[in-house]
């Protein structure tokens, strides 16, 4: 990402956080502004180490062997492998792996589905989603995707 793009994104996020528009990065319609404010793009973007649009390629159980017993498997969550389609923040790797703990989100992502994800490292440095809101299904991410595109191209 170029320095100019990074500056535009910072100004865009600042505008969202402060509730002000900054030139071409400001939402066009009042309804769009409310949708972005309601989705809290600014804080999610600022807190995430990786912001990307991904398609889920594989789903694996994250098993706690210490809690598992014969005939019973203790699942802590899921580890997803995904193909990145667009990266707005973080390393632009084509293949991405991230975790979602059941304590953070009890909703399982679907294989083959696309999501806008906001991931941060856990205590071991592995990417993880810290809530269900950190994985926005593509069908629900239109306003967020438009705002990210405007920030990059603006």
pLDDT digits (tens, 9 = 90+) for 126-139: 999 999 999 999 99
Q: Which residues contact 7 (CB under 8 A, 6 or more apart)?
A: none
Residue 20 has pLDDT above 50, yes or no: no
Residue 90's pLDDT band (cuts 50, 70, 90): very high
pLDDT digits (tens, 9 = 90+) for 27-40: 333 343 334 444 56
What pTM was computed for the model?
0.72
- Helix ranges (DSSP H) in the chain: 3-18, 30-39, 41-47, 142-153
Tell how far CA 36 is from the center of its chain: 15
Backbone angles phi, psi at 16, to 5 degrees: -65, -45
Residues of the chain with CATH 2.40.50.120: 50-136
CATH of the domain spanning 50-136, picked from 2.40.50.120, 3.40.50.1980, 3.40.50.970, 3.40.250.10: 2.40.50.120
Angle between helices 142-153 and 3-18 (to 10 degrees): 130
Q: Using CA atoms, how far apart are residues 131 and 94, in angstroms rounded to an integer?
A: 23
């Amino acid at each position: 990402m170029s320095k100019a793009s990074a500056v535009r994104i910072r100004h865009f996020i600042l505008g969202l956080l402060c509730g002000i528009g900054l030139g071409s990065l400001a939402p066009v319609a009042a309804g769009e502004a409310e949708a972005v404010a309601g989705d809290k793009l600014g804080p999610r973007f600022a807190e995430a180490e990786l912001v990307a649009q991904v398609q889920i390629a594989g789903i694996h159980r994250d098993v706690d062997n210490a809690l598992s017993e014969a005939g019973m498997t203790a699942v802590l969550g899921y580890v997803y492998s995904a193909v990145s389609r667009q990266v707005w923040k973080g390393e632009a790797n084509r293949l991405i792996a991230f975790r979602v703990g059941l304590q953070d989100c009890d909703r399982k992502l679907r294989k083959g589905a696309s999501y806008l994800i906001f991931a941060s490292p856990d205590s071991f440095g592995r990417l993880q989603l810290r809530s269900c809101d950190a994985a926005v299904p593509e069908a629900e991410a239109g306003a967020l995707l438009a705002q990210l595109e405007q920030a990059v191209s603006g």
